[in-house]
Chain A
Amino acid sequence: MNHFLIAPVVLPALVAPFIIMVVRHHIDLMRIFSLASTVLLVAISLVLAAQASTGEIQIYELGNWAAPFGIVLVLDRLSAMMVLLTSVLALVVNLYVIGTGWDKRGANFHALFQFQLMGIIGAFLTGDAFNLFVFFEVLLIASYGLMIHAGGTRRFQAGVQYVVYNLLGSTLFLFALGTLYSVTGTLNMADLAVRVAEIPPEDTALLRVGAVMLLLVFAIKAAVIPLHFWLPASYANAPLPVAALFAIMTKVGAYAILRMYTLVFGPDLAATHGLVGAWLMPAALITLMIGAIGILGSYRIGRLVAFSAITSMGTLLTAIALFTPEGVEAALYYIVHSTLAAAFLFLVADLVAERQGIEILPQRPMPQSGLIAVLFFAGAIAMAGMPPLSGFLGKLLVLDAARSHDLVWWIWGTVLVGSLITILGMARAGSLLFWKSHGLLDDSEDPNATAPDADKPTDENAPEEIADVSGTEITERPAALPFVACFTLLSGLVLLTIFAGPANRYAEATAAQLFAPELYIRAVLGEVTP
């Protein structure tokens, strides 16, 4: 048994309590341990991705209990890819947070960050449905803390809504799991797949109820219409770098849909044949359109990016809802792109919000206005799916995959019109923020006077002299680290475009693996013929 497989779950699970209990009073030590853990996580996930790319499905039996009885972690191409994506995103967000000092504005940022990573990575690796619930709760409870990091009335109010909505989702998850267990008598995903296929079609009413309830749970996570209402307020009012990390959380929902409805309730299963796709496809198309309209109508930059995350989820789920190998292949390429693009835009939005506030209004030009404008422009291009960045290729793959679907004209029309509205919305926001600002230059005030000092309480109540000195240095010369983080994400998007061929081949192999669930079942349960 390969103990390396559990390392990405254990590492943050050990580092987080260590940070809370041992180094919580030393911001530098907290940063060092958190960053070291994240770097190690990237290294581990690279090794795991290399192992998974051979096509072999590895399992890890916790406590050495055999598969249907104990909990298993499963590493296949899909989970390895998602784990790698999570750890790279975490590293970038961690750099950004350290560079901007967001982690000093409230307590225990880094510990919560590590717990959040543990939950996300665990959810990607687990092969047990109830364990998936537990990891969902781990990532959610950490996200509640991160969401209200640094406090503020509006953030607390949005936090209450976010927590209540997700607690409801968790309750529904338990109802769904209970229903599935009462029908099949197991919660191991591979075992579920075997048992579900054996149930005669006339006895599947409860099973279908369970399948649809489970879809609702994952749709809440993935922010599908009409279950998306939690997302805009939560993401826009969370600290924006945290929202950048949350870009992977909606993907956890998409991942779970992809996993459950290819493995357990596969497209060939008679009981749920066509059921999931038939509901998911229109919902995904409406999600796409609502997100695009939301971009056009947003008057704050956080909401703008939150709605762009919704529209990208719409595109992603459109591809998933095709439930064909081509659709899944396009979805896998787009999942990487949309995670990077949404996180990138959230970070750029934070750069803007830190300098001139969250309203999308023409104001005095902010410091480094040109550089930030370029970054925003690149992010908007990526998100809207224009050439030359990877969003264009991703949407092209989605459109191509939808060619033989019944609703092909609806899909093409919605994706293309949605992209157009996204471009309009992004252009509106960008020109208000960056171009019209220069029209206001005739004010003869000192430009430093308008700097939003109120946003940086850390400079005021910093206990030590040294912190004050470094604070004044930052106002003279902007910290480089946030820009390094932004450019890392941007170069990720560029690399995804340049190496679209290899990336697409990996996605193709992953889709092939997903549509051959017997490989997964054999890896987990041994030689059982379904």
Chain B
Amino acid sequence: MEILNMEFLLASAVGIVTAAGIYLILRRRTFPVILGLSLLTYGVNIFLFATGRLMVNAPPVLNKYAEVPYTDPLPQALVLTAIVISFGMTAVVVMIALAAYLSSKDDLIDMPNHPEDEGENA
């Protein structure tokens, strides 16, 4: 079917993953929020990949001997950078969330209004 072409599939994939990510980051506990952030980074990575236009069976290099189709290599480099950064950032947020959970015995993402009840230390 013509409507199920690659552009449609990719665009709806970005949309669905992003929507799911936004839903999850609005949750109150840190675990779904981190999952939501991961989904958002997947969404943005696919989106970045598509900014160079979608091509099938084309290498990301120019050929100086023949006129062959090629795909834009820059978005691929950008996606690689973005993947590495989001991977590192996810590790950091997991560690900090774990520290917050272990020290407060609670993984709610909001903070209590009266910290003096817990013997808070400046």
Contact = CB atoms under 8 A, between A and B. Distances in A.
B75 A181 contact: yes
A389 B36 CA distance: 47
Interface in A138-154: 140-141, 144, 148, 151-154
A161 interface: yes
B25 A168 contact: yes
Chain A interface, >50% SS class: helix
Interface in B83-109: 85-86, 88-89, 92-93, 96-97, 99-100, 103-104, 109
A160 B120 contact: no
Contacts of A353: 122
Contacts of B51: 178-179, 181-182
Given A164-B25, A454-B121, A174 B96 contact: no
Nearest to A240: B122
Interface string B43-79: 0100110111100000000000000000010110010
Nearest to A233: B111
B109 A160 contact: yes
Nearest to B33: A164
Contacts of A160: 30, 93, 96-97, 100, 109
Contacts of B75: 178, 181
B118 interface: yes
Interface residues of A, number: 40
A455 B97 CA distance: 24
Contacts of B82: 174
A171 B118 contact: no
A397 to B, nearest CB: 37
A167 interface: yes
A134 B99 contact: no
Given A160-B109, A163-B96, A455-B121, A170 B89 contact: yes
Interface size class of B (residues with CB under 8 A): 35 or more
Interface in A113-157: 130, 134, 137, 140-141, 144, 148, 151-154, 156-157
A152 B88 CA distance: 23
A179 B86 CA distance: 19
Contacts of B50: 178, 182
B109 A152 contact: no
Contacts of A7: none
Contacts of B115: 154
Contacts of A158: 111
Contacts of B122: 353-354, 357-358, 452, 455
A298 to B, nearest CB: 14
A157 B89 contact: no
Given A153-B104, A161-B110, A167-B41, 7 more contacts: A153-B120, A154-B118, A154-B120, A163-B96, A164-B109, A167-B37, A178-B51
Interface of B: 25, 30, 33-34, 37, 40-41, 44, 47-48, 50-53, 72, 74-75, 78, 81-82, 85-86, 88-89, 92-93, 96-97, 99-100, 103-104, 109-111, 115, 118, 120-122
| A-B complex: 4 closest residue pairs judged by Cβ atoms | A156-B100, A182-B51, A178-B51, A153-B103
Interface of A: 130, 134, 137, 140-141, 144, 148, 151-154, 156-161, 163-164, 167-168, 170-171, 174-175, 177-179, 181-182, 185, 187, 233, 353-354, 357-358, 452, 454-455
26 contacts: A141-B88, A141-B92, A151-B103, A154-B120, A156-B99, A156-B103, A159-B100, A160-B30, A160-B97, A161-B109, A161-B110, A164-B37, A164-B109, A167-B37, A167-B41, A167-B86, A170-B86, A171-B40, A175-B47, A178-B47, A181-B51, A181-B75, A182-B50, A185-B72, A452-B122, A455-B122
